[in-house]
Amino acid sequence: MKLDPVTLEILATKFAAAAEEMSYFLKRTGRSQYVKEAADFSTALVDTRGKFYAYPRNIGVSGFFDLDCGPTIAAVGHLEPGDVIITNHPYMSSGLATHLPDFNLVQPYFHDGRIVSYGWSFVHSADVGGRVPSSISPSNFELFQEGMLIPPMKLVKRGEMNKDAEGFLRANCRTPDANMGDIRAMLAALHLGERRVARIIAQHGIDTFEAAIPGVLSYTAVKAREAFRSIPDGTFEFWDYIDDDLVSALPLRIRLKLTIDDGLLHLDFTGSDPQVQAAYNLPTAGKRHSQMTAWLTSYALTRDPTLPLNSGMLEPVTIYTERGSLLNPEFPAAVGVRHAIVHRVMDATNGALAQALPDFMPAGCAGIIIPVVLAEPEDSNGRRNVSVVQPMVGGGGAHNGGDGADGRHSGPVNIGNNPLETTEANADVTILSYAMRIDSGGAGEWRGGSGAELTFSPHQSGSQVLGRGMDRFRFVPWGLAGGLPGLAARTIVNRGRPDEHEVGKLDMVELQAGDTITILTPGGGGYGDPLKRDPQRVLKDVRGGFVSAESALRDYGVHIADDRVDKSATTLRRSEMVAARARDPERPFFAFGRERDVWDAVFDDTLLSRISAALLTLPLGARTVARRVLWAALLAVIERNVPFAPDALAHARVAVERELALLEARVVKPALLTASAA
């Protein structure tokens, strides 16, 4: 049965509204801060294959509409009306859950005794047990440290809560009441979805309902491909780095080869680093996955804002990831901080697209989300007050025709902030500043967005500050087409005092009463030649305090005195700067900043791709050891929060290459022998 376009439009509207209504309901009834403040939850309607056909637009986590419930449903087997499945297992759910705090619930919706649809919902729970409060720590090195594991199983059977399961869940976390509150809200949202599906079927009939689901998906796929056709055909390669995994100082690389052919996209992540013994792995089960296509879906929606949100949008996209890599890790790799990887996947996608569409795509964004958490010492009752002081992001990248957003991340990173007054009422802390970070946005004809600055002082000694998700202390948001990169992140204790010190990228730092901590997030990259920026715009930035007068002169060649642009001095200065450039002819499309330039000069793509390839031929256990041995010489000469020394890197490369040759001899030869034997 093929539906006419009018009926299809009507059903599509009702599907989307139902999914959205479920989320509004969940948001209002959910219990934890993750629901209320961070909006780390969602709902959807799922077809009988397990793919999403309707997803909310303006609420909850954006862009999770290409997850796959199929394996989770299959794992449970026979389902009856009133059953609800729960799982948080990244591997047994084949990437439906991507870290343990995400409780995923799936409910079958029946009509006339058979399943015609499913409802889905997830919430990031406050805590699921494990080694640390709130369950996520970068230094966890295997899944079992990250909390309880729930394989796909029935939480509710024929409408009755599985009390054994509930008891097990409650016993294995630090926040049983909040978790069960969130779960109850999810169950209620799923029931609401069930009633909405029933209403649509009652109004339009089951045949129309069932025909509309593939109809909506294929309509979306056609429209999405049309949007992707705006990318010229070709192959574009790009790689970007996470500073390190906090366990060692070794940078982690995400490498993408993007091929576009008439609106069909293939993303090949071969050459990305192998999985690590820290919580920086992204479990995707080797499939196309929402977490890897976030930047692409935003691209499609930028071209066509009317696209419905469902899995059809990714129909023109295929993905390859190597098993055992950061983007397709093997059990039991820890996954808690996988969003740091997701950010870099977005940056890599952006960089590849920027080569295809240099006049359209933005420069590098800050590429971080840091929920800055304050954990106060235990009170006399043994309770600890733990609260998010501020969820922080940095600046957006500039594009041809527009500055990057200040203190906000453009693209699919849409996180709200906390009122300072609410934080001060909740926690024993004074917030001294929450402001734009001057001169942090990369200079350009279009300026990168400013990073943010947060300074606060806990009132109690022994208060701990956690900054999960910090990055871009070394590898900065890149500039485009002559624009400069944004400033790197910094973390400073007691800034401006004699005992001021940098603490850099941190997992946790303990403070005494009266200490201050300052967190500075990166600015976005600039776009285009800063010397072409309209001097009046530079003046406005100086007046507003986004750019200092010194930077105006140094980076933009704009001379500002007495709150005015000195035109003749500016003309002179700019012509001098142009002349100085003639001696330095190479002006690459990407401006990566000093650390990346030093690194790239020594550790080039060919070598790094060889290393990944060689390591991935080894079984997991052997690979970990081999990787440590291979990089030993480099690890001896680099340190977190200390700039690279070019000579030391070059020296280390010799040793790394020697180890690589040994490794290749060991792993490549047996393969060759096998091949020749066959």
Per CB under 8 A, which of residues 140..169 are in contact with another protein?
none
Give the nearest distance from C-beta 197 to another protein in angstroms: 13
Pick between residue 138 and residue 449 the one whose CB is nearest to another protein: 449
Beta strands in 273-327 (DSSP E): 317-320
Pick between residue 244 and residue 406 the one whose CB is nearest to another protein: 406
Pick between residue 6 and residue 580 the one whose CB is nearest to another protein: 6
Window contacting another protein (CB under 8 A); options: 20-28, 87-95, 245-253, 577-585:
20-28
28 counts as binding another protein under rule CB under 8 A: yes
Give the nearest distance from C-beta 624 to another protein in angstroms: 37
Give the nearest distance from C-beta 454 to another protein in angstroms: 10
Pick between residue 39 and residue 279 the one whose CB is nearest to another protein: 39
| 108-127 footprint of another protein as x/- string (CB under 8 A) | --------------------
| 435-474 footprint of another protein as x/- string (CB under 8 A) | xx------------x--x--x-------------------
What type of residue sits at position 311?
Answer: S
> Which contiguous run of DSSP H or E holds residue 480?
strand 479-480
Considering only CA atoms, which of 410, 475, 430, 400 is closest in space to residue 644? 475
Pick between residue 65 and residue 592 the one whose CB is nearest to another protein: 65
Q: Which of residues 537-556 bind another protein (CB under 8 A)?
A: 543-546
Give the nearest distance from C-beta 3 to another protein in angstroms: 11
Window contacting another protein (CB under 8 A); options: 21-29, 77-85, 472-480, 669-677:
21-29
Pick between residue 69 and residue 187 the one whose CB is nearest to another protein: 187
How many residues bind another protein (CB under 8 A)? The answer is: 87
Pick between residue 109 and residue 295 the one whose CB is nearest to another protein: 295
Q: Can you say how many angstroms the Cα of residue 529 is from the centroid of all Cα atoms in its chain?
A: 29
| 408-427 footprint of another protein as x/- string (CB under 8 A) | xxxxxxxxxx-xxxx-xxx-
Pick between residue 178 and residue 493 the one whose CB is nearest to another protein: 178
Pick between residue 103 and residue 599 the one whose CB is nearest to another protein: 103
Window contacting another protein (CB under 8 A); options: 68-76, 101-109, 178-186, 618-626:
178-186
Residue 269 to residue 85: CA distance in whole angstroms:
32
Phi and psi angles of residue 527, each rounded to the nearest 5 degrees, phi first: -125, 130
Window contacting another protein (CB under 8 A); options: 235-243, 302-310, 461-469, 509-517:
302-310
Residue 606 structure tokens: 């060919």
Window contacting another protein (CB under 8 A); options: 104-112, 164-172, 431-439, 554-562:
431-439
Block residue for tokens 């009652």: 202
Pick between residue 362 and residue 479 the one whose CB is nearest to another protein: 362
181 counts as binding another protein under rule CB under 8 A: yes
198 counts as binding another protein under rule CB under 8 A: no
Give the nearest distance from C-beta 388 to another protein in angstroms: 10
Contacting residue, 75, 76, 165, 432, with another protein by CB under 8 A? 432
Q: Which of residues 580-639 bind another protein (CB under 8 A)?
A: none
Contacting residue, 285, 327, 370, 405, with another protein by CB under 8 A? 405
> Which contiguous run of DSSP H or E holds residue 436?
strand 429-436
Residue 334 to residue 425: CA distance in whole angstroms:
35
Residue 578 to residue 572: CA distance in whole angstroms:
10
- The DSSP output letter for 313 is G
Residue 299 to residue 589: CA distance in whole angstroms:
21
Q: Which of residues 261-300 bind another protein (CB under 8 A)?
A: 295, 297-299
Cα angle, residue 235 at apex, residues 232 and 237 outer, rounded to 5°: 120
Residue 277 to residue 213: CA distance in whole angstroms:
42
Contacting residue, 136, 217, 231, 393, with another protein by CB under 8 A? 393
What type of residue sits at position 281?
Answer: N
Contacting residue, 194, 240, 273, 403, with another protein by CB under 8 A? 403
Q: Cα–Cα distances in Å, from 651 out to 210, 241, 658?
A: 64, 21, 12
Beta strand 234-242 pairing with 160-161: unpaired
407 counts as binding another protein under rule CB under 8 A: yes
Beta strands in 181-325 (DSSP E): 234-242, 252-261, 264-268, 317-320
Cβ–Cβ < 8 Å for 490, 517: no
Residue 368 to residue 343: CA distance in whole angstroms:
7
Written as one string, the DSSP assignment of 65-129 is: TT-B-HHHHHHH----TT-EEEE--TTTTTTSSSSTTEEEEEEEEEETTEEEEEEEEEEE-S---
Considering only CA atoms, which of 192, 224, 223 is closest in space to residue 107? 192
| 42-81 footprint of another protein as x/- string (CB under 8 A) | --------------------xx------------------
Q: Which of residues 317-376 bind another protein (CB under 8 A)?
A: 350, 360-362
Over its C-alpha atoms, the chain yields an Rg (Å, rounded) of 26
Window contacting another protein (CB under 8 A); options: 90-98, 139-147, 216-224, 492-500:
216-224
Give the nearest distance from C-beta 656 to another protein in angstroms: 37
Q: Counting Cβ atoms within 10 Å, is residue 640 exposed (0-12), middle (13-18) or buried (19+)?
A: middle
Give the nearest distance from C-beta 258 to another protein in angstroms: 16
Q: Give a three-class secondary structure readout of 421-433.
A: HHHHHHCCEEEEE
Residue 195 structure tokens: 């009633």
Pick between residue 3 and residue 278 the one whose CB is nearest to another protein: 3
Q: Cα–Cα distances in Å, from 32 out to 369, 466, 566?
A: 19, 19, 54
Cβ–Cβ < 8 Å for 273, 612: yes
Give the nearest distance from C-beta 337 to another protein in angstroms: 21
> Which contiguous run of DSSP H or E holds residue 184?
helix 176-204
Window contacting another protein (CB under 8 A); options: 235-243, 395-403, 605-613, 632-640:
395-403
Give the nearest distance from C-beta 368 to another protein in angstroms: 14
Q: Which of residues 478-537 bind another protein (CB under 8 A)?
A: none
Q: Cα–Cα distances in Å, from 49 out to 13, 67, 68, 490, 495?
A: 21, 11, 8, 46, 55
- The DSSP output letter for 565 is E
For residue 602, give every residue at least 6 positions away whose Cβ sits within 8 Å of its Cβ, in sequence order, or none.
646, 649, 650, 652, 653
Residue 302 to residue 230: CA distance in whole angstroms:
11
Contacting residue, 46, 54, 178, 285, with another protein by CB under 8 A? 178
Give the nearest distance from C-beta 405 to another protein in angstroms: 4
Give the nearest distance from C-beta 427 to another protein in angstroms: 9
Give the nearest distance from C-beta 364 to another protein in angstroms: 12
Give the nearest distance from C-beta 666 to another protein in angstroms: 45
Pick between residue 251 and residue 397 the one whose CB is nearest to another protein: 397
Pick between residue 38 and residue 466 the one whose CB is nearest to another protein: 38
- Count other Cβ atoms within 10 Å, centred on residue 518: 21
